Structure 1
């Protein structure tokens, strides 16, 4: 139970973690996912374009929530992954299959530790899960900062969506408990917190940067929009290996902005 003077250190971290289900098909899985995250002390569930628009009221979803009706009822429904990642500094995609291009691959435990570290610095964290049948599309994976794979039995590696959510929620709970304990024993002193320029870049900041870079590359003729190949995917993979700060994102956006402006001036000359 939270202290009467405010949330516990763990609750503070848990409030910065959200679980995102992309295009879930089965109401029962949505309800079971709500239950899975509540049992681990989390409460934010975001649904990206679910198959059933009224999934929160579906009897099967409410039955499978089994006591996590509050989490289910409060679940936000958004149109796309960009909206689900708004305000997030670090996001993790869960995938059952290898990707030729994509962010760095982490084990679930390492992913939990990295996510908890971001939350401990005040950043928002998102764990992203795909559709029950097809998983996450490549373009959704590329929007995340890291990817995780649950090392299940190779002879039978099929995990239900809510089971996958439970595994990652458990790992995130362990990591947040450790981070909360560490912060209680060694609290930040004034001046230790990251400055605004050093703060981790948000998902929308990075999406804007890639939009600017792509436009600049097209303008200078380096990227053919009719035959882009894998250039932008490779760039996303490259930047995913770094922990971009807002200041760094602004530098790259500034470069792209000046390239576009110079090209515009040259055309008008």
Structure 2
């Protein structure tokens, strides 16, 4: 059956603890994750797995897909076309926060910048500075019809927008995965250099989420944050912390400060 080709990634014109999958190309721990948020078409999931495998990536996570059995549906397997191993290792989680567990740099795919959201870059431009760094990277794709919600984009460090012809910039989900997988593989050096070493010192997305939840509760308790009128305070804090690139030790310090404030208040 053909993959439904609904618009997913509209680009601008040019001016359970996770286990890291093993890259079939390099034979080493894969520092790259592809996250599909609420995908609705089985064919797109299979084609995305194929796009990943052909570029040597294997860590696929689905967030609350429309169909719970999407990884084993006939259309998914058919469109994967030999990438069944990627589907077998893929995981389904209920939230984006869980999908980003272990990730230190999350890249949203979004058409335009969001209020208080992360900066927007073309993939090649951004990958030139990201490749070779210490990060475990995730590429986050939204539902086929609607794209990512603001709250999903706010969790990410950057928005990626693929430069296209001015008159038509609509990419199918699997096409977008293929473009980013190719560009990222090229930024990593293709298949001609040794894979980079990933450091484990930076705080990952799950730890950062825990810190933000802790702060939110304390700020409400001391009257600084009004839950009835939050005025984008938490998304702004989230972006500030993303820019800070906290280490695990720094994150523990900030959580300790929150605990001390709570203790003092009591």
User: Larger radius of gyration, structure 1 or 2?
Assistant: 1
Q: For structure 1, which segment, 23-32 or 84-93, has the greater mean C-alpha deviation from structure 2 after superposition?
A: 84-93
Q: Matches of 1:217 and 1:157 in 2, distance apart? A: 42
Shift, 1:7, TM fit: 8.2
Shift, 1:176, TM fit: 1.8
Does the 8 Å contact 1:115/1:125 carry over to 2? no
Shift, 1:237, TM fit: 2.0
In structure 2, relative to structure 1, the CA distance for the partners of 1:171 and 1:11 (3 Å cut) is farther
Q: Matches of 1:159 and 1:7 in 2, distance apart? A: 26
Q: Which residue of 2 aligns with 1:252?
A: 254
Q: Which residue of 2 aligns with 1:94?
A: 109
2:53 to 21, 31, 38: 38
1:12 paired with 2:24, answer: no
Shift, 1:157, TM fit: 0.9
Q: Which residue of 2 aligns with 1:267?
A: none
Q: Which structure 2 residue ranges, 5 or more long, are not aligned?
A: 1-21
2:37 to 14, 18, 22: 22
Q: Which structure 1 residue ranges, 5 or more long, are not aligned?
A: 1-5, 265-269
Does the 8 Å contact 1:117/1:179 carry over to 2? no
In structure 2, relative to structure 1, the CA distance for the partners of 1:238 and 1:167 (3 Å cut) is same
1:164 paired with 2:179, answer: no
In structure 2, relative to structure 1, the CA distance for the partners of 1:10 and 1:243 (3 Å cut) is farther
Q: Which residue of 2 aligns with 1:149?
A: 161
Instruction: Within 5 Å, give how 1:226-237 maps onto structure 2.
Output: 226-237=228-239
Q: Which residue of 2 aligns with 1:261?
A: 263
Q: Which residue of 1 aligns with 2:204?
A: 202
Q: Which residue of 1 aligns with 2:71?
A: 56
Shift, 1:154, TM fit: 3.0
Q: Matches of 2:50 and 2:194 in 1, distance apart? A: 28
Q: For structure 1, which segment, 25-34 or 59-68, has the greater mean C-alpha deviation from structure 2 after superposition?
A: 59-68
Give the RMSD, CA atoms, in angstroms: 2.5
Q: Matches of 1:257 and 1:98 in 2, distance apart? A: 34
Q: Which residue of 1 aligns with 2:4?
A: none
In structure 2, relative to structure 1, the CA distance for the partners of 1:263 and 1:238 (3 Å cut) is same
Q: Which residue of 2 aligns with 1:218?
A: 220
Does the 8 Å contact 1:27/1:60 carry over to 2? yes
Q: What is the TM-score with the length of structure 2 in the denominator?
A: 0.83
- How many residue pairs get aligned? The number is 245
Q: Matches of 2:91 and 2:24 in 1, distance apart? A: 25
Q: Matches of 1:102 and 1:157 in 2, distance apart? A: 22
Q: Matches of 2:33 and 2:172 in 1, distance apart? A: 19
Q: Matches of 2:259 and 2:236 in 1, distance apart? A: 21
Shift, 1:147, TM fit: 1.7
Q: What is the TM-score with the length of structure 1 in the denominator?
A: 0.83
Shift, 1:115, TM fit: 4.6
Does the 8 Å contact 2:113/2:119 carry over to 1? no
In structure 2, relative to structure 1, the CA distance for the partners of 1:178 and 1:34 (3 Å cut) is closer
In structure 2, relative to structure 1, the CA distance for the partners of 1:7 and 1:108 (3 Å cut) is closer
